[in-house]
Amino acid sequence: MKTWLYLPLLLLVGFITPSCKKTYNEVVIPNQTILVDAKTSDWVYSSIDQTYNFAVSVPELNNVNQLDGVIVSMARFQANSNATPQEFEMLPQVFANQSYNVLHDNANVFVQIKGINGVASAPPPTTVRIKIVLIPSAQ
């Protein structure tokens, strides 16, 4: 007799459970990638703060707000090689006693090299590829 009391409950669970379905609302916002090659001669020395600076015009930054992300990375070419670099390292970072920093405003990205621990700053000995990724954020 007790089994007859549970039968309607089991049937109700059997019909409701399969009809429950979790839905996901995903919003995909595409990022924008900009690649720039900086030759050794493109770096400008500043005697004021003893740094080497490279500036690249990025008009796409005009549409970036404070909530968006700007990621800058750099790849080094092998000496005497024309092969495209495959590994990028995010900036800021320290490499070979040189500190690499990044700043940007609404039109330019600036990469700055400064020597650490008393080492004089020096531009990269080969061309470097700078990768700028603009990541919009939806709030």
Question: Residue 62 is part of a domain; what is its CATH number?
Answer: 2.60.40
In a domain, 14, yes or no: no
**Residue 104: pLDDT band with limits 50, 70, 90:** confident
- DSSP assignment letter at 92: S
Could you list the residue range(s) of the whole structural domain that residue 81 is in?
Answer: 29-135
Q: Tally the domains of the chain.
A: 1
In a domain, 116, yes or no: yes
Residue 74: the pLDDT is 84
In a domain, 13, yes or no: no
Residue 83: the pLDDT is 74
Name, of 19-23, 73-77, 80-84, 90-94, the range with top average pLDDT.
90-94
Q: 134, 31 in Cβ contact below 8 A?
A: yes
Percent of the chain with pLDDT over 90: 22
